[in-house]
Structure 1
Amino acid sequence: MNSFDPGGRLTQSVSVSFHEETLAAVRDRVGERGLSAYVENAARRQIEGDALDALIRDHEEQHGGITEEEILAAEADLFGHGTSSRDAA
């Protein structure tokens, strides 16, 4: 995987295709001038998510899958005993 520098300042113009409904929804949110920044931020979030997925996959290949017990223990550490992030949903 190539290294990714989210602080890079150089830009490059590209042409991309969107479904009409997707493009309309983005333009409704950001207007004509905010499209590039919106797409840039979405791409960065996707890259970060992909990297996290790869990290989890690598960890699970080395150590096995994360069990429900481990998830509950981590939630207890983060949110306190007897509290789960799932309770808020």
Structure 2
Amino acid sequence: MAEKMGKYSITMPRSLAEAAREVSGDAGLSAYIAGAVEAKVRHDRLGMFLAKYEELHGPISEERIAAAEAVIRRADAEQAERARTKVARQQGGAA
């Protein structure tokens, strides 16, 4: 079951709203902004988790940071490849 939606009023610079509208595509501005906010919330929660972790266990080592960055780079590359594959399929199917 899809999550219930709510309607909110937000204030942002007009140029930013127009830029978001330009790039939002068929999904629409609301979906684009919801995705951006979702990513920001995840980012902020991760930051809070890491701060708490370091408070309890001390700083995270450079080696662990490098390992995590490598995992993120691999995941980003895999996601980009899936997106390229999807676009190629869509373009091939449209021809």
> Which TM class, normalised by the smaller chain length?
0.5 to 0.7
Find out whether 1:60 has 2:59 as its counterpart. Answer: no
Closer, same or farther in 2 for the Cα pair 1:38/1:70, shift >3 Å? closer
Find out whether 1:16 has 2:10 as its counterpart. Answer: yes
- Two-structure CA RMSD over aligned residues (Å): 2.6
1:16-66 deviation line (CA, Å, top 9, x unaligned)? 111011011011112597011011111111111111111111110011111
State the structure with bigger RCO (CA 8 A, min sep 6), 1 or 2: 1
What is the aligned residue count?
Answer: 71
Select the structure that is richer in helix. Answer: 2
Report the equivalent of 2:87: none
> What secondary structure, in the 3-state scheme, does the structure 1 residue paired with 2:54 have?
helix
User: Aligned partners of 2:28 and 2:39: how far apart in 1?
Assistant: 17
User: Aligned partners of 1:69 and 1:29: how far apart in 2?
Assistant: 37
More divergent stretch after superposition (32-41 vs 46-55): 32-41
Find out whether 1:48 has 2:42 as its counterpart. Answer: yes
> What secondary structure, in the 3-state scheme, does the structure 1 residue paired with 2:10 have?
coil
Question: Unaligned stretches of 5+ in structure 1?
Answer: 1-6, 80-84
Match of 1:38 among 24, 32, 36: 32
> What secondary structure, in the 3-state scheme, does the structure 1 residue paired with 2:12 have?
coil
